[in-house]
Amino acid sequence: PYGLNPLRVNPDPHFGGVRKAIQNFIRTLDAASTTPLGVKQEAVLGNVLVDVYREFEFDIDDPASWVANGAQARLVGGHTANRLYLAVPFEDKEEAKALGARWDGTKRLWWCHTENYAGELTRWKPAYRQREYPCLRDVLEYAERVHLERFLGTDQKAIFALKVLNKTAKSYQNKLRAAASLARLSNGEFDVESREALEGARKEACEAFERYANSVQTGHELESLIKYDSPDVLKSTLNRLQNLQRTGIFKDAAPPFDPGCPVWRYQLRALSQEEKKLFVLFKLQEIFYQALQRGEGADTVEIVVLDELAVYCTAGDADEGDGIIGTICR
């Protein structure tokens, strides 16, 4: 049940922040993996992480939002998701379902689209939860939702129709130029069939974009469409996140070590080489940034002992590199 959460944000305005957390997460994934992320995958993963932090009310540009104060509560849903989660008691579930609410098995909450929160549904208040940092499970859930919504939704139908229109127009223009050069005319009218195909494609594109415009609800649709424009890249990034989740090392509950015990031992023998490397590099990142936040001191606070050091070293640990092991040693 225990693991580590590499998405915790160091709230220090100089050494931490959401942007630093995202950079460290992606860089450590690349350092530990035998198949680093491609440039497009890195961009998509970075965008997903920014969106998830925003849903959890951690603003990349606002240091005041970087502290996860357990005394504060956050609204579940909203922002880029057109969902409002509701505090529906178990005994009211059938009534909520009859009124159009839907069940989210991951969050274990009922929800409705924000614009549908009216009438009888308002008898249930919006759901709030303790403010906390997102974990990998939250990132995976968001990426899966984006994949379904972006590439099964109206926006992608509009883009597909636009691609068909452009392809048809290009073909039509090529035929026009070829006919003009050969002076081929048919009863004074050129290629009626091709022109009708072009007009049909134009009509389809207009109707698709009208449906897309009518579906806009959150105001983030165009931004998301631009950020997640490739289904293949988004799918491959989603696959990487699913593989990470399956390792079982990323959990939001930390091991219950005794603070009074001078030695904390992590048993990693059950993990594969890549999983060990991921765990160790992320843990070293956490220790290092906590030390930076404490500042200089007269006493040695932590000593890390790594068995089989070569397993965990990366190319970035060489002189002047930015690998975490080399950085700590220097």
DSSP for residue 64: G
DSSP for residue 10: P
126 lies in some domain: yes
Three-class SS state of 103? strand
User: Cα-atom radius of gyration of the chain, to the nearest Å?
Assistant: 26
With a cut of 90, say whether residue 237 has pLDDT above it: yes
177 lies in some domain: no
Pairing state of beta strands 84-86 and 73-75? unpaired
2 lies in some domain: no
More confident position, 79 or 119:
119
Contact call for residues 86 and 109 (beta carbons, < 8 A): yes
Q: What is the pLDDT of residues 200-232, one digit of tens each?
A: 777 777 776 676 666 655 555 656 766 887 888
278 lies in some domain: no
pLDDT for residue 63: 93
118 lies in some domain: yes
Q: What is the pTM of this model?
A: 0.71
pLDDT for residue 52: 93
Q: What is the pLDDT of residues 141-194, one digit of tens each?
A: 889 888 877 666 655 566 666 667 777 777 767 776 666 655 555 554 556 677
Closest among 122, 137, 129, 113 to 76, alpha carbons compared: 129
Total domains in the chain come to 1
- Distance between CA atoms of 89 and 68, rounded to whole angstroms? 27
- Domain around 96: 73-130
296 lies in some domain: no
Q: What is the mean pLDDT of residues 30-59?
A: 91
81 lies in some domain: yes
DSSP for residue 249: -
Closest among 300, 309, 134, 159 to 221, alpha carbons compared: 159
Mean pLDDT, the chain, integer: 82
Q: Percentage of the chain with pLDDT > 70?
A: 80
Tokens of 191: 């290629």
- Partnered with residue 316 across adjacent β-strands are none
Amino acid present at 205: A
Q: Percentage of the chain with pLDDT > 90?
A: 29
112 lies in some domain: yes
